[in-house]
Amino acid sequence: MTTRELIESFHRFACAQVDNVDDELSIDELYSLWRARNPTDGELAESVSAVQEAARGLAAGDTGRPARAELRKACDGLGLIIDE
């Protein structure tokens, strides 16, 4: 996407959030939500790689950890909001 398209996408998203969901969100919170829902190609590739690695671990017998707790910890560390 071009820079203009990204700005327009964020604008549409932010207006919809404020109009329909929560008009008390800060601009930073809106941007964090938008970024979480619109990853870059690199971020998406990194996520796919992490899921593939986790699948290999499960196949090798790793039982993992509870996802919700790990997700909350990761989001807190990144300043992201969990959309629960």
Query: pTM of the full predicted structure?
Result: 0.58
Whether 76 shows a pLDDT value over 90: the answer reads no
Distances (CA, A) of 42 to 12, 33, 45, 51, 61: 23, 18, 5, 14, 29
Amino acid at 66: P
Write the Ramachandran bin of 40: left for phi over 0, alpha for psi from -120 to 50, otherwise beta. Answer: beta
- Predicted pLDDT of residue 38: 92
Give the rounded percent of residues in the chain with a pLDDT score beyond 90.
60
Higher pLDDT, 83 or 84: 83
